[in-house]
Amino acid sequence: MSWRKAEEFLDKKTGEHCIRLHEPDTDAEHHVVIHVGHDACPHCGHVRPKNNLDELDPKALIADELDALEQSHAQAHSYAQKHSVPVLHSSGKIIPARR
């Protein structure tokens, strides 16, 4: 597996830092969303402080997510191999069971 960051942007409308991770061999996707906050409430206009943004570390979060995805996929493939179960990827490709 080779998960990688495919897209990243800050959505000012929703106040979300959006990161799309992609695994090209299986065409799988994983989305990471960091809630950064709004400049102001869209209903009442009250301004909300963003005093915790210095504590957020998107690179570390992405690294943790990539590591978890790699481990999860390795465990799933190990399970499939152990029980001789074919693997159906999201692309529709079937990997035959290994005996």
pLDDT at 14: 81
pTM exceeding the 0.75 threshold for the entire prediction: no
Tens of each residue's pLDDT in the chain, 99 residues: 688 999 999 988 888 899 999 988 778 899 999 888 766 666 777 766 677 788 889 999 999 999 999 998 889 889 988 999 988 776 677 777 766
Those residues with Cβ within 8 angstroms of residue 98's Cβ, 6 or more apart along the chain or in another chain:
81, 84
Residue 66 and residue 77 in contact, taking contact as beta carbons nearer than 8 Å: no
pLDDT at 93: 74
The 3-state DSSP class for residue 8 equals: strand
Q: How many CA atoms lie within 13 A of 37 on its CB side?
A: 11
Going along the chain, which residue ranges are E strands?
Answer: 4-11, 16-23, 28-35, 87-88, 94-95
Domain assignments of the chain as residue spans, ordered by start = 4-95
